[in-house]
Amino acid sequence: MSKRKARKRRRFGYVFPRRWKSGRTTWSAQWFDQTQDGKRVTRHFDSEKDTHDFLDELERRILARVYETPPTLAETMQVDAAPVDPETPELPAVRSFTAYAESVIENRLVATLAKGTLGLYRAALKALTAFYGETPLDQVTPATWLDYRAFRAGVRNSTHGTKKTVSARTINADQQFASRILNEAVLDGHLAANPLAGLKKLREPKRPRRYLTKDEIARLIDAAPKHFRPFVIAAVYTGARKSELTRLRWSDIDFERGKITLVRSKVGNVDAIDLHPAVRTALLRLRLRRKKTGPDDPVFLSRRGTAFTNVTKSWAIALKGAGLDGRPGLTPHSLRHSFATHFLEGGGAVSDLQQQLGHAALATTQIYAASLSERRRAAVMALDFKRKNGATKRPVARRAAAGE
C-alpha cells in the first residue's frame, strides 16, 4: 500500500510523490500523450529531480517534433527477451558511455540548447571521457561515479589554467549531465533504469542571489556604454536571460502590438511578453541609429558592430561607472534577479512571474518569494514601538483615575 500526495502542476505534465509504508518515497511523472488520443501516461522515478528532468526532455522532444512514447520497463524487458528475426537489421551497438553521450549531444541537443549550455556539456564530456574511456554504457554504476568524483576534483578543463581545482558545483553539473544522458539511454531502451537516479549530489555552499536597488539600476543604466545601454534596459525591464537577449532579432519585436518574442532555449519553448515603454523607446532609438536593419539582424550589437557573444567587458565598464565594481557576485544575471525581486515587491503574483521569467517549474520562481519573505521578516523584527529616552508606561491605577 502507498500514500499519494497532491500533484505538482508544471507547464507540461504533473509530478507527484508516493510514500510507501517502508518509508521509501518514489516519484511519478504523468502527462497526456496526444499520439495515443490523449491517453494518460505515467512513468516512475527514484527522485523528484529525475522526474522533472524526464518531463523537461519530453517537452523538448514534442517541440522538436521527434516525440515517441517512451517504453515502460516491462516493455523494454519484453523486447529484449523477444526472439530475434534474422531478417530484421540489428540496431548499431552502443560502443561506450561517452560515445553515446557524444551522439546525444550532436544529434539531439544541438538543435534545442543554448550555446553556453552546450559548452558546459562538452566540457563535462571531456572530463568523463578522460575517466570512463571506452567503458560500456551498462557498466556505469554509482560506485564508478563516486570514483569519478574523486578524479574530477583534480581535473580542470579550463583555458585559464589548471592550478585552481573544480568546485562542488562543477562536479554536480557533471552529474546532472551524466544523469540526463542516462535518462536518454532509458528512453532509447539501452538501459532498464538510470543508475545515478537518486544519488545525492555534493553539498554546495549557498550563494546569495545578488540584486540591485532601484537607485543602483538607474545609475547602472546611465553609466552603461552607449552600445550596451539598450541591452541593460531590456534585461532589467523584462527579466530575460542573457542568452535570450543576445539571440533577439528585430522580427521578434512587435512594436504595434507591444510584444517581444523570446526563445527560451533553456526550457525549450517560446514566450511573447509585454514590451515596456522604456524598452520600446530604447529599441526605437537604437533602430534609428543603425544605418540598416533587416528582420533577421541581431538587435543588440557589440562595440565592433558584431552580434553579442560575451558581454563581460561592457558589463565591467557599466559597473565601474556606476560605482558598483567593488560588490562581489554582480553579473548580468543579477538584472534578472533584480527584476524578479522588484516585481514581487510591487505586488506581482508568483505565478505571473513564472510566466514572465519562463521557468518550467513554479518551485524555481518561489525561491524569489522566499527571499522576499526573509526581508519582510527582518523588517518586521526591526520594528520598535517602545518609548524613547527611558520613558516608562503609566501605572494602571493612574490610567483608570484619568478615565482611560
The residue that leads in pLDDT, 61 or 212, is 212
Residue 275's pLDDT is what? Answer: 92
Which residues on adjacent β-strands are paired with residue 260? 253, 273
Whole-structure pTM value: 0.58
- The rounded distance, in Å, linking the Cα atoms of 98 and 185 is 12
Q: How confident is the model at residue 179 (pLDDT cuts 50, 70, 90)?
A: very high
| CB contact set of 320 (below 8 Å; sequence gap of 6+) | 223
For the ranges 57-66, 201-210, 215-224, 258-267, the one whose mean pLDDT is highest:
215-224
Among 346, 319, 343, 317, CA closest to 330: 319
Q: How confident is the model at residue 319 (pLDDT cuts 50, 70, 90)?
A: very high
Residue 115's pLDDT is what? Answer: 74
- The rounded distance, in Å, linking the Cα atoms of 349 and 370 is 13
- Please name the helix (run of DSSP H) or strand (run of DSSP E) that holds residue 264, with its range, or none: strand 259-264
Does position 192 have pLDDT exceeding 90, yes or no?
A: no
Residues marked active site are found at 241, 266, 333, 336, 359, 368
Residue 380's pLDDT is what? Answer: 65
Distances (CA, A) of 340 to 128, 308, 375: 36, 24, 14
- The rounded distance, in Å, linking the Cα atoms of 198 and 47 is 5
- The rounded distance, in Å, linking the Cα atoms of 29 and 51 is 6
Neighbours of 44 (CB within 10 A): 14
| CB contact set of 16 (below 8 Å; sequence gap of 6+) | 4, 5, 6, 7, 8, 27, 28, 30
Instruction: State CA 69 to chain mean position distance.
Output: 25
Does position 157 have pLDDT exceeding 90, yes or no?
A: no
Q: Among all chains, which residue has been given the C-alpha cell 535518462? A: 183
Q: Among all chains, which residue has been given the C-alpha cell 554504476? A: 141
Question: What pLDDT, in 10s, does the model give residues 34-52?
Answer: 777 778 888 887 778 778 8
Sign of CA dihedral 185, 186, 190, 191: positive
Does position 335 have pLDDT exceeding 80, yes or no?
A: yes
Among 2, 56, 10, CA closest to 354: 10
Catalogue all structural domains in the chain, each as residue range(s) with its CATH number: 2-79+92-187 (1.10.150.130), 214-381 (1.10.443.10)
Does position 13 have pLDDT exceeding 90, yes or no?
A: no
Question: What pLDDT, in 10s, does the model give residues 68-117?
Answer: 666 655 554 454 455 555 554 444 455 789 999 999 999 888 877 767 78
